[in-house]
Amino acid sequence: MLQQILTNTPVYVWAILAFLVLRGVIAMRDREISIGKLFIIPVIMLALALQSIVARFGVELLPLAAWTAGAACLTVLVFKFGGTRLTSGSTAGLVLVRGSFLPFALMMAIFLTKYVTAIVFAVQPQASQNPLFVALVCALLGIFNGCLLGRLASDLRYVRNMPQQAKDGTPASAAA
């Protein structure tokens, strides 16, 4: 059965997995990036999760409420209690991001949740009618998205509080 599942998986799914693994490995290393690039992974993973929810469960109250509850709780918790992973970059508009295993783990968790859900639907299409299954899948995706969104919110708080010179390159005296 496992062989059948793997061979029937569309090629684009393996391409998405390869992209996520690559991005996850990159995220494990310290790197200097533009502030705008902080949005890439959280936005991509948000889009993947919401696309999965809408495609599998429709625009219904239970799936969206479960996702929203998971995402909101974790966003707030990570924002409030998570530390910053940024420092000012070498030039204006750049930040140094400390490497972390967490983005890789979260990307794999979202991918695997979507993949396992697709397998469950292929084997038992009626799973979409089980409210517990729907709530669990959507809440998990929300929790994973919330971790990424909470980190992004923490990053943006750090950027907002950076000295003006580090943000745009203006001398400190000109910014005053």
Q: What is the pLDDT along the chain (176 residues), one digit of tens a residue?
A: 778 878 888 899 999 999 999 999 999 999 999 999 999 989 988 998 999 899 888 899 999 999 999 999 999 999 999 888 888 888 888 999 999 999 899 989 989 999 999 899 888 989 888 999 999 999 999 999 999 999 999 999 998 888 765 555 554 434 43
The reported pLDDT for the residue numbered 50 is 92
Whether 155 and 148 have beta carbons less than 8 Å apart is answered as no
8: DSSP letter = T
CA–CA separation, 130 and 57 (whole Å)? 11
Contacts of 38 (CB under 8 A, 6+ apart): 95, 97, 152, 155, 156, 159
Distance CA 106, CA 111 (A): 8
CB atoms within 10 A of CB 103: 24
Question: Using DSSP, how many helices (H) and how many strands (E) does the chain show?
Answer: 8, 3
pLDDT, position 111? 92
> Is 95 buried (19+), middle (13-18) or exposed (0-12) by CB count in 10 A?
buried
Integer Rg of the chain from CA: 19
pLDDT at position 176: 39
Instruction: State the pLDDT at residue 85.
Output: 87
C-alpha closest to that of 107 among 155, 57, 40: 40
Distance between CA 113 and CA 158 in Å, rounded? Answer: 31
Q: What is the pLDDT of residue 24?
A: 93
Identify the pLDDT of residue 175.
Answer: 41
Which pair of tokens denotes residue 43? 């936005």
Q: 3-class SS at 33?
A: strand
What does the pLDDT read at residue 169? Answer: 55
Instruction: Determine contact, residues 58/138, Cβ cutoff 8 Å.
Output: no
What pLDDT was estimated at residue 45? 87
Terminal Cα-to-Cα distance of the chain (whole angstroms): 67
Write down the pLDDT at residue 174. Answer: 41
